[in-house]
Structure 1
Amino acid sequence: MNCATYIRASTDNQTDAHQRKSIDEWLQENGIDLADVDRYADLGHSGASDDREQFTELLEALEAGEYTHVVCWEISRLSRKGATLQRFFDVCEDTETSVVITDGSVEKVTPDGTGRFVADIIGMVYQQERRTLIRRIEAGQRRAQRQGKWLGQVPVGFRRDDEGYLQPIIDPDHDAGETGYLELRDALERIDNGESYRSVAEGLPVTRQSLSNIHQNTDRRKWYLEATADKDAVHAALESVRTVPVDQIKTSDD
């Protein structure tokens, strides 16, 4: 019996010990020497992605007819895309390779078609679950945008509050690498007065390149120098800065 195993975990921190334990138990119960098994593993990879080096290598080895058995913990470890699972099982069927699942609704998919029907249904369920998840994420993003919440990377001089709204940082925590909104305003004014990006960046937790990018971006400059923005979420966040004179804005040093 020429045997290979496959393990996948979605994140690098996600343990794969339970997968290995279940697979090794099956191998030992069937009298297979663990040292004779080829092992493939993709850690930190989503089952919705086909860009997995070890999975690709396994598929190529199967197409070359190198194995009679492939052992995995659960069908979703192979893929969460129905089309990819179909291709995988087709290759195994064409090369007379049996797929063993140690913890799933089907225990084995064999070249004669045994277990294939259930495996295909499971693959379609995974595909539908993935589509539903994507729709929920997209709906959540659209809802957050309508509510004026900030999505994506937080711009320098701002933070995102607990409810997801953008807020200018008036009292920055330099130990945490924060740059204050008013510090950015002062830095841009100094640059306008002829100071270099490098000298202005000294003493601030912001790089020369970041200062240059902000200073040379007409829309972004207005965020700091005029407290206005074309983006609704940013404009709303700057309301407190526009309505209170700069010299009256309180910080922890006041």
Structure 2
Amino acid sequence: MSYATYIRASTDEQTDAHQRESIDEWLREHDADLEDVDRYADLGESGASDDREQFTELLEALEAGDYTHVVCWEISRLSRKGATLQEFFDLCEDTETTVVITDGAVEKVTPDGTGRFVADIIGMVYQQERRTLIRCIEAGQRRAQCEGKWLGQVPAGFKRDGDGYLQPIIDPDHDAGETGYLEIRDALKRIDDRESYRSVAEGLPIARQSLSNIDQDDERRQWYLEAEASDDAVHDALETVRSEPAD
């Protein structure tokens, strides 16, 4: 018998300990020498992505006929895409490799097709769940945009309030790395007076390059110097500073 194991966690913070413990327990129960087991792991990788280094290496080893068994904790660790799971099980069937699942609705998928029907159904469920999640996220984004909430990266000198709306930072917390809206306005004026980006950025928690990017973007300059914006969310946020003289 030749064994390979596969572990995947979708974020770096997720522990893989429970997966390893479950897999190693199965290996010990089946008298496998843990030192002879080849282990593959993709940490911080989404199951919706097929571009995983270790998973790709495992597929290449399977195509070479290196293993009789692949042991994983749960089917979703292999992939959350139904088509990818079907291709994986097809490959294992062709190479006479048994897939062992230590914690799932099906315990194993063998080359003769045992367990394959249930595994394929599970894969289709994962695919549908993913499509539903994407639709919900897209609907939420559209709703938030219609309500004027800010979804992208927060621009310098602004913050996102508790309701998701953009607000200019009038009283910045420099210890927290905040740059005030009025500070950027003043910095742009100094640049217009021919001061260098480097000297203007000194003492402010904003990088020289970031300041340069704002200065060279006519639309962004207008946000700060004239308190005007073509973007409705930014325009509404600037209402609170529109009475401030730009000088």
Unaligned runs of at least 5 residues, structure 1: 248-254
Q: What secondary structure, in the 3-state scheme, does the structure 1 residue paired with 2:172 have?
A: coil
Task: Report the Cα distance in structure 2 between the residues aligned to 1:246 and 1:214, rounded to whole angstroms.
Answer: 17
Q: Does 1:231 align with 2:231?
A: yes
Instruction: Give, in angstroms, the shift of residue 179 of structure 1.
Output: 0.5
2:191 matched to which residue of 1?
Answer: 191
Task: Report the Cα distance in structure 2 between the residues aligned to 1:13 and 1:228, rounded to whole angstroms.
Answer: 41
Instruction: Give, in angstroms, the shift of residue 246 of structure 1.
Output: 7.0
> Cα RMSD (Å) of the superposition?
1.1
Q: What secondary structure, in the 3-state scheme, does the structure 1 residue paired with 2:61 have?
A: helix
Instruction: Give, in angstroms, the shift of residue 208 of structure 1.
Output: 1.3
Q: What secondary structure, in the 3-state scheme, does the structure 2 residue paired with 1:6 have?
A: strand
| Amino-acid identity (%) | 83
Q: What secondary structure, in the 3-state scheme, does the structure 1 residue paired with 2:19 have?
A: helix
Deviation string 1:45-83 (CA, Å, 9 cap, x unpaired) is 010001110000001100110000000000000000011
Task: Report the Cα distance in structure 1 between the residues aligned to 2:83 and 2:66, rounded to whole angstroms.
Answer: 23
Letter in 2 for 1:8: R
1:250 matched to which residue of 2?
Answer: none
Q: Does 1:150 align with 2:150?
A: yes
Task: Report the Cα distance in structure 1 between the residues aligned to 2:100 and 2:27, rounded to whole angstroms.
Answer: 10
Task: Report the Cα distance in structure 2 between the residues aligned to 1:52 and 1:170, rounded to whole angstroms.
Answer: 44
Q: What secondary structure, in the 3-state scheme, does the structure 2 residue paired with 1:70 have?
A: strand
Q: Does 1:16 align with 2:16?
A: yes
1:115 matched to which residue of 2?
Answer: 115
Q: What secondary structure, in the 3-state scheme, does the structure 2 residue paired with 1:243 have?
A: coil
Instruction: Give, in angstroms, the shift of residue 196 of structure 1.
Output: 1.2
Please give the TM-score of this superposition, normalised by the length of structure 2.
Answer: 0.98
Task: Report the Cα distance in structure 1 between the residues aligned to 2:54 and 2:199, rounded to whole angstroms.
Answer: 48
Q: What secondary structure, in the 3-state scheme, does the structure 2 residue paired with 1:88 have?
A: helix
Contact kept in structure 1, 2:9 and 2:42, CA below 8 Å: yes
Q: What secondary structure, in the 3-state scheme, does the structure 2 residue paired with 1:80 have?
A: coil
Task: Report the Cα distance in structure 1 between the residues aligned to 2:171 and 2:100, rounded to whole angstroms.
Answer: 58
Q: What secondary structure, in the 3-state scheme, does the structure 1 residue paired with 2:99 have?
A: strand
- List aligned pairs for 1:56-205, cutoff 5 A: 56-205=56-205
Letter in 2 for 1:156: A
Task: Report the Cα distance in structure 1 between the residues aligned to 2:178 and 2:133, rounded to whole angstroms.
Answer: 34
Task: Report the Cα distance in structure 1 between the residues aligned to 2:45 and 2:194, rounded to whole angstroms.
Answer: 49
Instruction: Give, in angstroms, the shift of residue 155 of structure 1.
Output: 0.3
* Deviation beyond 3 Å, 4+ runs, structure 1: 243-247
Task: Report the Cα distance in structure 1 between the residues aligned to 2:90 and 2:69, rounded to whole angstroms.
Answer: 14
Please give the TM-score of this superposition, normalised by the length of structure 1.
Answer: 0.95
Instruction: Give, in angstroms, the shift of residue 245 of structure 1.
Output: 5.0
Task: Report the Cα distance in structure 1 between the residues aligned to 2:208 and 2:28, rounded to whole angstroms.
Answer: 60
Instruction: Give, in angstroms, the shift of residue 243 of structure 1.
Output: 3.3
Deviation string 1:110-152 (CA, Å, 9 cap, x unpaired) is 0000000000000000000000000011111111100000011
Instruction: Give, in angstroms, the shift of residue 40 of structure 1.
Output: 0.5
Task: Report the Cα distance in structure 1 between the residues aligned to 2:193 and 2:20, rounded to whole angstroms.
Answer: 64
Deviation string 1:93-113 (CA, Å, 9 cap, x unpaired) is 000000000000000100000
Instruction: Give, in angstroms, the shift of residue 199 of structure 1.
Output: 1.1
1:40 matched to which residue of 2?
Answer: 40
